[in-house]
Chain A
């Protein structure tokens, strides 16, 4: 029974998902429901001067056309980067102002989804058109912190210029990464139903409590009057985290028409009504001595942000933790352009910064003449190079050793262009992956029955990662029950507090709360059965009874399975709310999470720096005639503390690596500069890898013990896999062709 952890357990929700019986938010059909559709702006900057809704209103089936002039009781919330729960600070349809292309300008409600969409197509708008800039100007950048101060956004240690001056070799390079969109398979949707002053919202969400808290406050309702339900999520990747205009518009529309309304955002609209990965420039100045040891490390990140928010996802906070250097300088900068506000997208601080960092390290290794893996080895460190605390655990070089062996790194001949296979040039590249271990407060309620069942309830989410399964595993292991006997209920704001599902925290934080609830159950049962006159544990001091893989054990070798002991209690059933409060969590952080925010301690606490690590290796082929770039092999070894479920963890890491292939070679949101619109807002033209692009992907998960991060020893793995992939591929492209490509994506057009 104990072996339910660190084994490959098939998802408990898999049968429901593959048979279509899992009820997703947009599957719910409240009686009398109407359908919504958005009309969006064709221009990016300007003012709406007239909006003709007559044709839409005349369309059969259309019930109402709501505009900034006619939509009553529309409420908004503060944006995330201004400390609120919203996806952006600027709210469309509060007035005639247009600040980004594809901004909602009208909301059509109709009896059918087809009529609503047709109505939206029939709305015609006139504008006073301004001149937009869709690309940021990196020269016009500024430093700013998340809450308006610039604390921690600039780091200086030693003297960077002196470090560069003493270096045997230096690189001074710049990398660029494009706008990217999440494109989850499940469309954005919101369904709202008012019953008097009570509101229910069904919506795929990474944070039901953020939604409930924000909506209740906006409408000045007690939280008990607002239900937010999100049982399953068909992919989110950061795009379903905040409260977006489409949610608040649907709530207002349902109120306005006096009937439940459901909006399914169209795929092109998904590119503009929510967040995305902002474009960025990564500047590196590195210096190394003749052995490759760093003498200077400078990283300046310039990321795009909207005109009305400061999107700070500080990637330099991660890169500066990677390698030892006596002289370090980092800066986190932003530059504005005319888009909606960007946000988190799988590894929001890491994907683009590591594309820069890990290529810069490769460039420097090449100049110094050391093997790229050795380059990482000589700069490996057991203390955080800036914060000067030890890592709680760091298995980077174990990852490199493991991946090198399986991949056959020793077969690499260092000279670029020196390896071929028929008409293909062959290249090998490697890169470091990392992901910070975030720590958030969480609660979880576990109810156990003497008949051998357990119910685990918490306001966490399964965004497709396997959370339903791992919570059942944790409870099963602690309580001594089969996984199938542990039912997990999630995705409702009314359940016990759990954090927003983002930053790879759910397993670690919410999982630790489940673990704690199980320990509390054991204590309660022990208290009751030791007080009885009969039974194996009768008469013992309950404080001396411990829980060991589902068995209660006394100090003298007495033992009784927990479920048997529970069956012998008065009620035969027990319920406990577990808590996870890491010592590094301050009251302020705990309160932030309880308020629906993101109160993370870490990755650096006063005692330790906490990161998961990995090493990835790519074999790239470049065709002699077509210049096509293919990735026949991609290997990764990762160390992320305890692996709860080897199957779902493998899928997460592999999925991240596959996405990394896309980031490296395919993904880019194309833009039309003069009119600041996204051009390929659909999944036919926004390229992501197809099956044929993904050949051999091998994932190894190393054993790593970390007693500091949380009682389970778990670090996050949801984002780790994508982090090194693009750089590993870019390095392999250089090795194959001798061409150094410092922008994403790398396309054959760059190689002709």
Chain B
């Protein structure tokens, strides 16, 4: 690891000031940041540890909105009973992520900004990686192993997959992110936070240098209560999703009034499947319509070598998640 300066400001203005400097990076729980520093992928000159900014802690489960401070821990939120009832998709996507140790260390602000697990990105022995080393090429697409890569949203420059779970719930339920930076405070729709790789896969979000995520807000909607996060993975815990779905249903009798679907483990950024949602609205939710929605969610998928299975798996996971959400919406669970 390269030596670096360490700052731990106690007020947000000082944190922004320190974080806007060239070579400075923000540090929250460090489970992504320190990991990548140890293996030499990231070499910041300075770390700005924001964990003393107590105003970014905590969260609130309100009746029309749920708000999270950027420093709320994955574990405390994932284990919250009131939230489990109000918005199961939020707690489920958190406690099915990573391991208990990681969830205790990691903060929600860091969580949504976690990095891809592309093995070529993580191994500096590969000179080729447009994300780590802009313009160098892509080892994954140059004959490499692509079974863990994005089948939606990738580009010729990069097919890295966004691996996080919680972000799928946020994108499905119209969350917003609040920030403070050198240019002041702003509110960003969560769906706009991450940007597609295109020709510039090293640019991952619309955040500016020194801009600190202060919180996350999720509006309370009918579909949020009858929501579910289904995560398919080869081992029961402590594994990234092979495919996942964050879904919710608001039923009017037998008719779907509102449907939310986002799919994880398959796309370059948190991925809302709007066409699949639309296919359900105004109709009944049956095993058949659920399966059809799953298929539609993957209609545009471009499989890579080794990841063909994700199209069928992903569709099945969407359908299975919808069946659980339906049971929740109709009092069946």
Residue positions of A touching B, CB distance < 8 A: 40, 42, 101, 114, 117-118, 121, 268, 423, 623-630, 665-666, 670-675, 677, 679-680, 685, 687, 689-693, 745, 747-750, 752
With the chains together, A391 CA to B236 CA distance in Å?
Answer: 41
Complex CA distance for A535 and B123, rounded to whole angstroms: 75
Q: Which residues of A contact B145 (CB under 8 A)?
A: 670-673, 679
Partner of A687, one of B230, B239, B323: B239
What are 14 A-B pairs with beta-carbon distances under 8 A? A118-B2, A121-B40, A121-B124, A625-B317, A626-B232, A626-B317, A670-B145, A674-B142, A675-B126, A675-B139, A685-B119, A687-B239, A749-B313, A752-B312
> Across the interface, which residues of B come within 8 angstroms of A665, CB to CB?
234-235
Question: How many angstroms from the CA of A679 to the CA of B239 in the assembled complex?
Answer: 16
Compute how far the CA of A12 lies from the CA of B317 in the bound complex, rounded to whole angstroms. Answer: 49
Which residues of the partner chain B approach A628 to less than 8 Å between Cβ atoms?
232-234, 236
Cα separation A675 to B123 with both chains bound (whole Å): 12
List B235-268 residues whose CB lies under 8 Å from chain A.
235-239, 242
- Nearest CB on B from A183, distance (A): 15
Give bound CA distance, A671 to B123, whole Å: 13
Establish whether residues B1 and A747, one from each chain, have CB atoms under 8 Å apart when the complex forms: no
How long is the Cα–Cα vector from A114 to B99 in the complex, in angstroms? 27
Rounded to whole Å, the gap between the CB of A708 and the closest CB of chain B is 43
Residues of chain B within 8 A of A268, CB atoms compared? 39, 123
Known: A101-B125, A673-B143, A752-B316. 5 other contacts (CB 8 A): A625-B317, A665-B235, A673-B144, A749-B242, A749-B313
Bound-state Cα–Cα, A710 to B323, Å: 61
CB contact under 8 A between A680 and B119, given known A665-B234, A690-B238, A749-B242? yes
Q: Check B119 against A692 for contact (C-beta < 8 Å).
A: no
CB-nearest residue of chain A to B238: A690
**Distance of A268 Cα from B41 Cα, bound (Å):** 14
* Nearest B residue (CB) for A745: B234
Given contacts A666-B235, A670-B119, A748-B242, contact A625 B1 (CB under 8 A): no
Range class of the B interface residue count: 35 or more
Q: How far is the CA of A685 from the CA of B39 in the complex (A)?
A: 14
Distance in Å from the Cβ of B317 to the closest Cβ of chain A? Answer: 6
- Are the C-beta atoms of A666 and B234 separated by less than 8 Å? yes
Cα separation A685 to B120 with both chains bound (whole Å): 13
Contact A625–B40 (Cβ < 8 Å): no
Q: How many A-B residue pairs have CB under 8 A?
A: 103
A729 CB, min distance to chain B CBs, angstroms: 13
What B residues does A750 contact at CB under 8 A?
309
Please, which residue of chain B has its CB at the minimum distance from the CB of A691?
B237
Contact between B144 and A752 (Cβ–Cβ < 8 Å)?
no
**In the complex, A599→B321 CA distance in Å?**
58
B202 within 8 A of A: no
Q: In the complex, A576 Cα to B119 Cα: how many Å? A: 57
Closest residue of B by beta carbon distance from A120:
B40
Residue B319 interfacial (CB < 8 Å): yes
Specify the chain B residue showing the minimal Cβ separation from A749. Answer: B309
Question: By the criterion CB–CB under 8 Å, are B313 and A748 in contact?
Answer: yes
Closest 9 CB pairs of A and B: A625-B320, A42-B125, A692-B236, A626-B232, A674-B143, A749-B309, A679-B119, A692-B237, A752-B312
Min Cβ gap A41→B in Å is 8
Given A42-B126, A749-B242, decide whether A118 and B1 contact each other with a Cβ distance below 8 A: yes
B235 to A690, Cβ gap below 8 A? Answer: yes
Cα A159 to Cα B99 in complex, Å, equals 56
Complexed CA–CA distance, A114 and B236 (Å): 35
- In the complex where A670-B119, A749-B313, A752-B309 touch, is A114 in contact with B235 (Cβ < 8 A)? no
B2 A693 Cβ-Cβ under 8 A: no
- In the bound complex, residues from chain A placing their C-beta under 8 Å from that of B238 are 690
- Which B residues between 218 and 241 are near A, CB-CB below 8 angstroms? 230, 232-239
B117 interfacial contact with A, CB 8 Å:
yes
* Chain B residues whose CB sits within 8 angstroms of the CB of A674 once the complex forms: 142-144
Q: Hey, which chain B residues are within 8 Å of A677, CB to CB?
A: 123, 125
Closest to A694 in B: B236
Interface positions, chain B 273-321, Cβ under 8 Å from A, are 309-310, 312-313, 316-317, 319-321
Q: Kindly state the separation between the CA atoms of A670 and B230 in the bound complex, as whole angstroms.
A: 26
User: Whole-angstrom distance from the CB of A133 to the nearest CB of chain B?
Assistant: 13
A121 to B316 CA separation, bound complex (whole angstroms): 44
CB distance from A179 to the nearest CB of B (A): 13
Given the known interface contacts A675-B126, A677-B125, the answer about A747 and B119 at a Cβ–Cβ threshold of 8 Å is no
Which residues in A have their C-beta under 8 angstroms from that of B320? 423, 623-626
Distance in angstroms between the alpha carbons of A691 and B320 in the assembled complex: 25
- Give the nearest-CB partner of B290 in chain A: A625
- Pairwise interchain contact B117-A685, C-beta atoms closer than 8 A: yes
Give chain B nearest CB distance to A87 CB in angstroms: 22
Whole-angstrom distance between the alpha carbons of A245 and B317 in the complex? Answer: 47
Assuming the A-B contacts A114-B1, A627-B232, A690-B237, are A679 and B309 also in contact, with contact meaning beta carbons closer than 8 angstroms in the complex? no
Q: Which residue of the partner chain A has the closest CB to B239?
A: A687
Given A625-B323, A670-B145; A630-B236 close (CB under 8 Å): yes
B319: contacting residue among A625, A670, A675, A685, CB under 8 A: A625
**CB of A666 to closest CB in B, whole Å:** 6
With contact pairs A677-B125, A679-B145 given, residues A748 and B234 touching in the complex (Cβ less than 8 Å): yes
